[in-house]
Amino acid sequence: MHRQKRSLNGGRAAGTEKLVTTTESACHGTPEGAGLRVERLPFERVPHQSRLFLEYLKDPTALRRFYPEAVRFHYELDGRRRRVLDTYTTDRAALCDALADSNASWGAGRETLDNIKRLRSSDSVAVVTGQQVGLFTGPLYTLYKALSAVKLAACLSARGTEAVPVFWMATEDHDWEEVQRAEVIACDGRLAGASVPGELHAEGRQVGGVTLDESIEQTINQLFDLLPSSEFRPDLESLVRDSYRPGRAYGEAFARMLAALTRAYGLVLLDPTDATLKRLAAPLYSEAARRAEEIAAATDARSRELEAAGYHAQVHTSEDAFPLFLIEGGARRALVRTAEGRYRAKGTENAWTADELSALALREPERFSPNVTLRAVVQDFLLPTIAYFGGSAEIAYFAQTAESYRVLGRPATPILHRASLTVVERRTGRTLERYGLRLEDFFGGLDRVVARVVEEHLGADVARALDETDADVARALDALQEKLRGFDPTLADALTGGRRKIAHQLEGLRARFHRAQIARDRAVLRQLERASTALFPEKSLQERHLNITSLLARHGRYVVEWIHDAIDLSTNDHQIVYL
């Protein structure tokens, strides 16, 4: 397989003059056209997918009852461009000034700063995605989200809709456990990870503002103790250490690393805790506070409506909820409506009326952050969002969020499913090819894979003998049961229980055969264990566990280009990419 490669700093390698990733290829290019072997797997065959998610992938427009502006194909987005621009009232100059300052401070390249200039135009729109600020950029799907937005923005721009990719960093989130660990495939093939200390984070604090201390050096050392040595290691180590330094905020460290990885693509990063952005969001905060009771009632009714239709409600809702958190002493506190109709901050006796909170939000917006039912609305108030890329859980809660858009008189942004990939490295690919395996074979667990390999490859002769024995026994028992039925039906019925015991004994013998055979072929077992860990770690898709450093250590920054080229805007299937 032949693929052109980028140099380590993101530029095209010597001897080539044209980027593979042009805007035209974003619309029409295929992974195969970029020299990548890709298989597609419908999500119906991937475990643990919700009914709502699967039906949304099949036809979002059939669910417009819950997703009022859903589109079936990305090329239909241009039809809502005018509506987005006509309802967009945020000061673009102030927004873009803030984005330019923050992105420049994170080391953004010329492509990103040029995109911010393009966003200043009153005719431009944003393709948005976002994620929690995970350690070393978090799970692989964070990067998949970012590059999905990049690719769609390029495609829309090529077709005449000026679009800019924006990544919303969820710095306001307070779930530290979700962001403090990065997992990789270690040198010995096991899933392992590096973590930052739990004590860095105080309960309720926003994770983006956590300050790294000297312990980050130990975390980085832990990461590189796990990763293999390669020609790419010095560049990767420089990238990680330049991004994650003592004294730096967690959100800034994330931003610096993601900006470096996506430098060639012009991704614009946004931190919602930025003081300017808080002031720009203040009018929406204020209106949401004033209409809190209406938003809560509508969202709770939507949850019941989803459940009545046979779907699930992704987010727990309550008629007493308030759409904003109050930040006191650096910690986020939920507000709950009391019997007297006031809103009390959890854990305190402090309470306010909705009108008082509305006035406070307008005056001091930095004291508030949106909850999950309002966050997307705030995002699309700040940005002229034409579409949002999200995962299965986000698609589910957008069905509830749509009610916040409606109550606040905002157009409900359509959500597109982000690219979903499993990357198959060469060593794993050779194992799959040798034994005729595919990704979905691992969904049933390693034991089933081992059994198949034993029966089809390692002990095929014995497996055939066992199959023949099963068939012979079944035929003999069928004949005996038929004769018994003519002689005494009660004896025929008694044989049924005996048959189950015989089948159980034969199954047990087969399982013992599998164990004995694989014990003779420990090297094969290790290959299968490595493949299982690499492809379906902890019984989940690879993208939900592995960190990009796992791939960067083995392939360098070239892998970011390969991932970009693998993303196919025309499919909602899970993609299996062979490197």
Q: Which amino acid is at 79?
A: G
- Stronger pLDDT, 19 or 387, i.e. the higher one: 387
Same domain, 119 and 222: yes
Backbone angles phi, psi at 512, to 5 degrees: -65, -40
Sign of CA dihedral 326, 287, 404, 179: negative
Residues 6 or more apart whose CB falls under 8 angstroms from that of 491 comprise: 484
Q: Give the pLDDT confidence score for residue 512 in this predicted structure.
A: 82
What residue has token string 């009326």?
A: 353
The predicted-structure confidence for 223-280, as pLDDT tens digits, reads as follows: 999 999 999 999 999 999 999 999 999 999 999 999 999 999 999 999 999 999 999 9
Judge if 418 and 548 occupy the same domain: yes
Tell whether 506 and 381 lie within a shared domain: no
CA–CA dist 357, 370 (Å, integer): 13
Residue 269, H or E segment: strand 268-270
Say how many C-beta atoms besides its own lie within 10 A of residue 261's C-beta: 23
248: left (phi over 0), alpha (psi -120 to 50) or beta: beta
Average pLDDT, the chain: 92
% pLDDT > 70, the chain: 95
535, 554, 570 - which closes a domain: 535
Report the distance separating Cα 338 and Cα 346, nearest Å: 11
For the ranges 96-105, 288-297, 398-407, 512-521, the lowest mean pLDDT is seen at: 512-521
**Residue 59: C-alpha distances to residues 42, 73, 78, 262, 346 (Å):** 14, 9, 18, 31, 41
Is the domain of 386 the same as that of 502?
no
Amino acid at 113: L
320: its two tokens: 């007493």
Backbone angles phi, psi at 556, to 5 degrees: 75, -170
387 neighbors 496 (Cβ within 8 angstroms): no
DSSP string, 535-565: HSGGGS-GGGTBBHHHHHHHHTTHHHHHHHH
Query: Are 418 and 490 within one domain?
Result: no
Contact 94, 280 (CB under 8 A): yes
If asked whether residues 5 and 41 sit together in one domain, one would say: yes
* Total count of domains within the chain: 2
pLDDT band for position 17 (cuts 50, 70, 90): very low
* Interatomic CA distance for residues 327 and 202, integer angstroms: 13
Residue 407 lies in a domain: yes
| 173 is a domain residue | yes
Residue 463 placed within a domain: yes
Q: For residue 244, give the nearest of 234, 258, 254, 235 by alpha carbon.
A: 254
Quote the distance between the C-alpha of residue 120 and its chain's center.
29
Per-position DSSP letters for 343-390, written without gaps between them: EEETTSS-EE-HHHHHHHHHH-GGGEEE-HHHHHHHHHHHS-EEEEEE
19/200: higher pLDDT: 200
For residue 154, how many other CB atoms are within 10 A of its CB? 25
Domain membership of residue 301 (yes or no) is no
Q: Would you tell me how many other CB atoms lie within 10 Å of the CB of residue 115?
A: 26
| DSSP letters for 65-85 | TT-TT--SSGGGGGGGHHHHH
> What tokens does 202 get?
């105080």
The answer to whether residue 488 sits within a structural domain is yes
Six-digit token string for 473: 């026994």
Token representation of residue 78: 């241009």
Domain membership flag for residue 4: yes
Q: What is the pLDDT of residue 458?
A: 72
467 shares its domain with 409? no
Give the DSSP H or E segment for 523. Answer: helix 522-535
Sign of CA dihedral 97, 90, 148, 212: positive
Alpha-carbon span 379 to 397, nearest angstrom:
15
pLDDT at 448 over 50: yes
Question: Whose CA is closest to 257, among 547, 558, 569, 561?
Answer: 547
Calpha distance 133→140 (Å, rounded): 12
* 3 state DSSP class of 218: helix
SS3 512: helix
Structure tokens at 187: 């040198």
**Which of 404, 368, 411, 367 is closest to 292 using CA atoms?**
404
Residues 481 and 563 in one domain: no
Q: CA dist 184 to 141, 481, 535, Å?
A: 14, 56, 12
Rounded distance, CA 380 to CA 280, Å?
Answer: 12
Same domain, 577 and 472: no
Give the pLDDT mean for 471-478. 83
Mean pLDDT of the 200-208 span: 94
Q: Give the per-residue pLDDT at 514.
A: 67
One domain, residues 456 and 509: yes
Give the pLDDT of residue 25.
64
- How far is Cα 219 from Cα 217, in angstroms, rounded to an integer? 5
348 domain-assigned: no
CA–CA separation, 318 vs 327, rounded Å? 21
Q: What is the DSSP-derived secondary structure letter of residue 229? A: P
pLDDT of 22 reads 45
Asked whether residue 120 carries a pLDDT value surpassing 50, the answer given is yes
Residues 6+ positions from 318 with CB-CB distance below 8 Å: 296, 300, 336
**Between 349 and 98, the higher pLDDT residue:** 98
Residues 528 and 548 in one domain: no
Distances (CA, A) of 322 to 171, 173, 316, 325, 480: 20, 16, 13, 8, 72
Please indicate, yes or no, whether residues 272 and 399 belong to a single structural domain of this protein. Answer: yes
Mean pLDDT confidence for 485-492: 82
Alpha carbons 38 and 109: distance in angstroms, whole number:
31
- What percent helix, strand, coil does the chain show, rounded to 5? 55, 15, 30
Which tokens belong to 27?
């619309």
How far is CA 84 from each of CA 60, 88, 239, 370, rounded to the nearest angstrom?
19, 6, 38, 21
* Residue 477: band (very low, low, confident or very high) from pLDDT cuts 50, 70, 90: confident
Structure token digits, residue 289: 């506070």
Residue-range definition of the domain harbouring residue 494: 446-535
Assess if residue 401 is contained within a domain.
Answer: yes
CA distance 201 to 77: 41
